[in-house]
Amino acid sequence: MPIELEPLQACPPPAAVAGPPACAPWKASVVAELAEVVRNEPVNAEYRHLVVSCSEAAAQAQPGQFFQLLCPQPAGEQPFLRRPMSLYGADPAERQVAFLYKVTGAGTRGLDTLRTGDRLDIMGPLGVGFRLDPRWRRIIAVGRGAGLATLAPLARAAKANGTEVTAIFSARRPELLVSVALFERHGAEVIAVTDSESTSGPANVERILRREIAERGCDAFFTCGSSRLMRVQQRLAREFGLPGQVAMEQQMACGIGLCYCCVRDFNRDGEIVSRRVCWDGPVFDLMEALP
C-alpha cells in the first residue's frame, strides 16, 4: 500500500541557496544519507514500491520533488551515477519516503535487489516541486506511465488544500495503471484511458478535458509522462486561459545544478531558453515547456 503523504503548504517559497556564513551556523538542506528499506515490493507486473525510513529533513520532501538514489550494484553491472527518482509519497510523522519504479536499467535492477532492512543511500529532497494555489477549487491532472507516480503526491496535497482533483490516467493496459486507488482514497475522480481499450489517444483525452472543463470547471492543469498529452493540455490551457504545471524528466548526473547535463529548452515569452531540469525544475510552467 502506498504510504500517506502529509499536507503540504499551498505555496512553498522557492528553494533558497546557501547564504553567507555570517549569522547562523551553516546547515545542510540537502543530505546524502543511508536510509533503511522498510519495504520493496511489486504493485503490478511493471512497477515496484520502495519505502525507506529517513531523516526528518528528507521526509519533508514536497510533491514533485525528487531524490538521487545511489543504487546497489546488480550482478554483473556497475551503475556509477546516482539515479533521479521522483517522490511517490512522504510521511514526516513516520519519517519515511516512498518511490515507485519500473525495472528498466542497471540502476533500477539494483534497486530491485533491495530487501527490508537493507540500506540505500538517498540524497534529497531536490528540485522545485508542484505549487498549489489556495484559491484553486478544482484541478485536472493528466499522467501516463511513470508520470502517474510523480503526480501521486498531488492527491493528498490537493485535498489538504481544499482542492478537488480529476485525474486522467493513461497506460498501455488497465492492469498497468498505478496511483488510482491512492487518488480515489483522497476523493479524486479518476478517469482511466488505455491503449488496449483505444481510449488513450490525444483526441479522446481532449474530448474528456473539454467535457470536464465545461461541466465542472478547472482552475489549473497538472501533467507528467507524455509529450502528446502535454501538448493537448497546452492547447486547451491557452484556449481557456488556465495556468498549468508539468513535471519533466531528463538524464541527470549531479542533481543539484552543477553539471548542466539535464538541460531542456523552454519557451519564455517567445525566447527559447535552456534550463536545468534538476535545478530549475523538475516542475515547470506548462506553457513554457517544449516537448
* Nearer to other proteins among residue 72 and residue 202 (C-beta): 72
Q: Which of 29, 104, 113, 227 binds other proteins (CB under 8 A)?
A: 29
19: cell is 547564504
Grid cell digits, residue 256:
543539484
* C-alpha cell recorded at residue 140: 485536472
Nearer to other proteins, 27 or 115 (CB): 27
Exposure string for 265-281, b = 16+ CB within 10 A, e = fewer: ebeeeeeeeebbbbbbb
Residue 162 grid coordinates: 481544499
Q: How far apart are the C-alpha atoms of 177 and 90, rounded to whole Å?
A: 21
Q: How far apart are CA 159 and CA 138, in angstroms?
A: 10
Indicate the SS3 state at residue 255. Answer: coil
Residue number with CB closer to other proteins (101 or 183): 101
Q: Which of 24, 28, 45, 75 binds other proteins (CB under 8 A)?
A: 28
* Residues 6+ away with beta carbon under 8 Å from 250: 262, 263, 264, 277, 278, 282
- The CA distances from residue 22 to 18, 26, 70, 161, 203, in Å, are 11, 9, 33, 37, 57
Look at residue 91 and give its three-state secondary structure. strand
Which among 26-34, 131-139, 199-207, 237-245 is the span making contact with other proteins, rule CB under 8 A? 26-34
Among 160, 192, 208, 256, binds other proteins (CB under 8 A): 256
Strands 283-285 and 83-86: unpaired
- 123 makes contact with other proteins (CB under 8 A): yes
- Selected binder of other proteins within 31, 38, 103, 290 (CB under 8 A): 31
> Rounded to the nearest whole angstrom, what is the least distance from the CB of residue 247 to other proteins in the complex?
19
CB 166 within 8 A of CB 208: no
- Of 48-56, 192-200, 249-257, 282-290: span binding other proteins (CB under 8 A): 249-257
Based on the shown chain and the rule CB under 8 A, indicate whether residue 21 belongs to the binding site for other proteins. yes
Judged by CB under 8 A, which of 32, 43, 160, 192 binds other proteins? 32
Least spacing, CB of residue 236 vs other proteins, in Å? 29
DSSP 156-177: HHHHHTT-EEEEEEEESSGGG-
Angle formed by the axes of helices 202-216 and 227-240, nearest 10° = 30
Q: Which stretch binds other proteins (CB under 8 A): 75-83, 139-147, 165-173, 190-198?
A: 75-83
| Among residues 10, 37, 43, 261, the one that binds other proteins under rule CB under 8 A | 261
38 touches other proteins by CB under 8 A: no
What is the three-class DSSP state of 246?
strand
* 19: contact with other proteins by CB under 8 A: yes
35, 40, 43, 49 alpha-carbon torsion, rounded to 10°: 10
Query: Does 13 interact with other proteins (rule: CB under 8 A)?
Result: no
Pick from 37, 70, 103, 160: which binds other proteins (CB under 8 A)? 70
- Give least dist CB 98 to other proteins, A: 22
Q: Which of 257, 285, 288, 290 binds other proteins (CB under 8 A)?
A: 257
Give the one residue of 66, 67, 222, 279 binding other proteins; rule: CB under 8 A.
279
User: Where do contacts with other proteins occur on this chain (CB under 8 A)?
Assistant: 15, 17-22, 26, 28-32, 70, 78-82, 123, 250-251, 253-261, 263, 274, 279
